[in-house]
Structure formats: structure tokens, C-alpha cells
A and B are shown apart, each in its own frame.
Chain A
Amino acid sequence: MKIPGNMGPIAAGALCAALLCGTAALSLADQDVQARQDAAADETHDPRLLAQGKRLYILCQACHATEADPGDKIGPHLAGIVNRPVASAEGSVYSDALRAQDFVWSEENLDLWLQRPAEMVPGTSMSFVGLPGEELRRALIAYLNTL
């Protein structure tokens, strides 16, 4: 399974389409980055999307704290999860499979992960089956971005 790096290509078609008014002078790569930043900024401030993401977090809350102290929860905390290096929360339980990885929890990687964790990193100890809807994942990641 190829895991995109932090600055790697994204499935930006939809985002680009939404950004036809972007500066024409930008290179394609720059457009991608710009599109992503704009979209992220939009989504962070979209109250409807954030509210939906917060509701979706019901699927995460038993294992993952939203603040840096994980308390008794069995998974790593998710404060600042977006762009955090993989398996890097101190004192958390990680599978060997996840520890062996070397990537950053970019939004693209989170999206891939949330589709089906066991497919992205076989042997993970995260017993979450996955979130099939792309829109749902977008909302959840928008919420994760606020943590």
C-alpha cells in the first residue's frame, strides 16, 4: 500500500473545480497547494461541517481523547493529530505495524486511514472498521483539524 507523503499529490479534482477563480498564473502544483489550503480554511470555518464532524467523533471518542491527556482511553490522544508524525504520542499503545511506518498524519493520510485502517496498515490494533462515505470523512477530518 502506497501512502502519500505530506506534500504528495492529492485527489484535488473536486477542490480545483471549486476554485476556478484561483490565480491563473499559479503553476498546477501551486494550485493544488493553494486549493488545499483554501479548502481547509473554508472547512475549518464551516459550522455545519464541523458540527457533523463532531457528531461523527462519537465513533472515535471511546478510544481517543481530544485533549493531550489521554486519561484511561486505550488509544492515543488526537490533540494536534493533523500533520502529527505517525505513532508519536507519548505513552500510547501502538501496534508494531504502526510503529514501523514513517509518515505524517496529513489530511490525505487520515482520509486513507479512515476508509479502512486495517487495509492501510495491516496489523493495526485500531479496531475501527472504517468510514465509507467520502463526505463523512471530510467532515470528520475538518473536526480533527480543530483539535
Chain B
Amino acid sequence: MSVRRRQVLKGALSLSALSLSYPLLKPAAGFAAEKTTALVIGGGLSGLNCALLLSDFGIDVILLEGSDRVGGRAHTADGVETRPEYGASEVGRSYARAIDLCSRLDVNLLPDIRSLMPMSNYVDGTWVRSGEWADSPVNRMADSERELPPLMVGMGLLSRLNPLKNLDDWLSPEFAGYDISMRELFMNNGVSDAALRLAGVPMDLRMTSSLGMMQERTRTLFDANFGRTQTQAADTPFGLAATREEGEETFPVRTIEGGTSRLPEAMAAALGDRVRLGKVVAEIDMSGSDAEIRCLDGSRYSADFVVSAMPFTTLRNISISPEFAGRQAEAVLTLGYRGTTRAWGVIEKPYWEDDGLEPSFFTDETIQTLVVLDKLPGEDTHRFSVIFTGPSSARIDQLPDDQALALIESEIARIRPSTKGKMRFVDLYGWRKNPLIQGCRHLFRPGQISRFAREMIVPHHRLHFAGEHTRRMDFGMEAALESGERAAFEILQRA
């Protein structure tokens, strides 16, 4: 036994020596548990907000983050040309918490004035410009469906069928009938086969609860209309509606100066050494008089309260005692997640001047969506982003990154030869491949909202739940912040 212990210690010592260059491998200084009142697991926006609010109220808090950086799905690719945002980028006009945190932490918000350039369509092997789509023979959708641009078919049809008014209506049993797949909802409402097919390109209609997406449309509309006098349409392909009212001076959507990562970094800086990086949690034991937390590196913590600010995809890997039960266990084990994969680059020469099509395009083939962003004053080149969501993301993620990039480039050149040699790729990122997150966001599967949306956030012994998947009212970054605030609120009521 003593020999084994010496070996272990020896191993620990050699790891300590290594830790000079690899601080993440540094084991706990001793094997005694570090005590705190609240232990937050996950250093994304939800965990950081929870920890900040608790410390504001004088609660001792430690935050463990598994990776080597804070921010989670708020991740600016700082070293990359054009500095792409891998994840969150938009701060809506009604994102109270994000706006307030930026103000408090001296992080600047800038108007998001970079607009998407118009989008042609390559459907059934034929190019159709946006203005010709509604009357094109390639458009085989029926009646009023025909006016929807191909990328917007799913969201557009969903908006037309959305009965939700209030931001929390989705949790009301009154609307449980909408907790069916988008495919089923569309079929029940006589949507044409052609529309079903196009709607299924960016979204997995079979695996997506209509009710969950309706909540997001309702929240997006709420943001678009916040503080405005005339009702705004909010059907955008991605994220928030960035349209400006006539004569309006403020911009509806803002971004964080220097990149989204600056916000979580400022939050972590405010928490100081209470944030611990490289701490992958293995076990949470709440069978005794407090919660005992063990990390993969052997470090231990004891806490009165624990906050899971991880996605359920990660919580699933942690040994929890007592185990989750009933619908909460079902939620942790089965909540759906969706991938988003993006490639970024710059346009070396405006290829659309050669082929007469619009710069951006949607296709029902491999590429799904290429968006070209307008130049800002003083910029020489346009930027582009290839966006894969849902099923198209799952497909491209099957390839290693270098192969995926090569395929994306050659496939774009195949369907649109004018692009050949005029696009330069700088980066690719797929959230499904991030081992501590495994998806860009949660996505309720059909029936899951009715099964466990209410039960899944109920505290389990000393364990509370935060993270974008536990939102009640909000969307995007604000959903993460909302959830951290709720978990902090719950703990303050108990502490």
C-alpha cells in the first residue's frame, strides 16, 4: 500500500514539474477538499453570471471550467484572420442582462452594421435569382408558400402557425398540442411536399419540436418590437431581425467590440482566482452532509450548493449520487442537441460580377448556405461564411476538418464555377466536435417539452441547473445569462 502511495506521489511530483509548461495538468496541491458555499460547474455565460451574482451577495463561490478558456459557446477566434465568431455574436435590443453586464464591466457594444448580401438559390440543379424565385418553375411549392425564400421556408411556415403570445406560453399545457415534430405540424396543416423538402434542408423536421422553435420565434419578435411603435416582421434565416425602422437612430442588434469573448473574459476577470480552468468534473456526491465534487485530476471540492452550468451532453458524463430520477433523468439523458458548423474566409475577387447571380446563395445540396457580408468602409475585401445547421452540419462533421474544408471549397466551385480561385478559406469550426459541449445548442425533440421541460430544472438535492437549455423566457446569449440568474436566485433563497 505504502509503495503504491509513493508511486502516486511520485507521479504527482513529476506532473507538477510538467505543470510549469502545462498548467492544465497540475493536480490538486493536496488531496483535501477545498470548501466553498457554491460550486459552479461550467465557465460559459450562464455559469459566469451565476457565480458573479452569488459573489455580489457575499456568497463564497468557485467556478470550475473543463476547457482551457472561459466563454463556452461565446468564442471569438482571436488568432484567425477576420476574427470569426464560432458561436454567439448578437446582442439584441432587449438583452437586458448582456447589456447591463457590458456596461458594468466596461465592455463596449457596437452596432452590427455588416449586412448580408442578397441570396440566389441553387435548387434541383438550377440557379434562380431571389427576385425570380416566387414565379420560377423550380419553385414547386403551393400557393402562399411560394413567396418564401428557400432558406426561410421552415421558419416562415412555423411563424404562420405560431399561436404563442407570451414568452412563457411554451411551458403552458394549453399549447402541448404543438409539442410535435415540425414535419407532423406541417403535414397536419397541408404543407406541400416541395415545401417540406426545402424546410428540411437547414432543420431536421423529424427531430425538432415545433413548440420549442415557436418559443424562439416569439422571443425574436419580442426583441424586434422592443421599444418600437410599429410591428416588425422577424423572419430571419439566422438569429435576430436586424432591420431598422425608418429614421431610427439606434441599431437593433449590436455586437461586442473586440469579439464576443471579451464579455466572458471580463466576467471571469471580475471573479479572479475563483475561476479554475482545466477542471473536468468526474463525480458529484450529495449523499452526505454536503456536496463532494471530484475532478478527473483528483482535485476535490466540497460545497453546500452545486450549479450544473454545463450542457446536458456533458452532465451525462458525470457520476451523480443520488442519481437523477424520473423525468429529470430522462431529460439529462435524452435532451436533443443540434450542431452548427461554419467555414469562414475572404472573397479575393467578387465572383458575382462574372456570373450575374447574387453573392450569397442557398442550395439543397451539400453546401446549404453561403453568406457574403457587405464590406465596411475602409475594407478591401468581402467576407463570407458557409453555414451548416442541423442535418447538413451532422453530415459535414463526419469529415476531419481539413477534408471538410477541401470538400466545401471544391463543392462550391462545382456548383458555382465563377467562385473558383476567388474564395480564400481561413477557418472551420463545428460545435458537435467540441468534446465538452457536443453541439451548438439544445433542441427539444418532439414531445420532450411536455415530458420534462418543467421538471428538468427543479433542483436535485444540492444541485441546481443553469445553461441555455434551462432558459424559460429568453434566447441566445440572454438565455444563458437568464438561466445563471435563476440558479443564483434559487441558491440565495436557500443559503
Contact = CB atoms under 8 A, between A and B. Distances in A.
B489 A58 contact: yes
B97 A62 contact: yes
B492 A129 contact: no
A128 to B, nearest CB: 8
B96 A63 contact: yes
Contacts of A58: 53, 57, 485, 488-489, 492
Contacts of B493: 55
B180 to A, nearest CB: 24
B100 A127 contact: no
Interface string A107-126: 00000000000100010010
Contacts, number: 63
> What is the interface of chain A mostly: helix, strand, loop, or mixed?
loop
Contacts of A73: 96, 99-100, 103
B97 A55 contact: no
B222 interface: yes
B472 interface: yes
A93 B94 CA distance: 11
Contacts of A59: 485, 489
Contacts of A56: 489
B104 to A, nearest CB: 9
B94 A127 contact: yes
B100 A72 contact: yes
User: How large, as a class, is the contact surface on chain A?
Assistant: 20 to 34
A96 interface: yes
A71 B57 CA distance: 22
Interface string A50-73: 000001101101110000000111
B229 interface: yes
Contacts of B481: 62
Contacts of B34: none
A61 B57 CA distance: 13
Interface in A120-147: 122, 125, 127-129
A96 B229 contact: yes
Interface string A15-57: 0000000000000000000000000000000000000000110
Contact of B57 (A55, A72, A74, A129): A55
A55 B492 CA distance: 7
A126 to B, nearest CB: 10
A62 B226 contact: no
B227 interface: yes
Given A75-B96, A118-B166, A122-B165, 9 more contacts: A55-B489, A58-B53, A58-B485, A58-B488, A58-B492, A74-B96, A74-B99, A125-B94, A127-B473
Closest 8 CB pairs of A and B: A93-B227, A72-B103, A62-B97, A63-B96, A62-B96, A62-B100, A55-B492, A118-B166
Interface of B: 53, 57, 93-94, 96-97, 99-103, 165-168, 222, 225-227, 229, 472-474, 481, 485, 488-489, 492-493
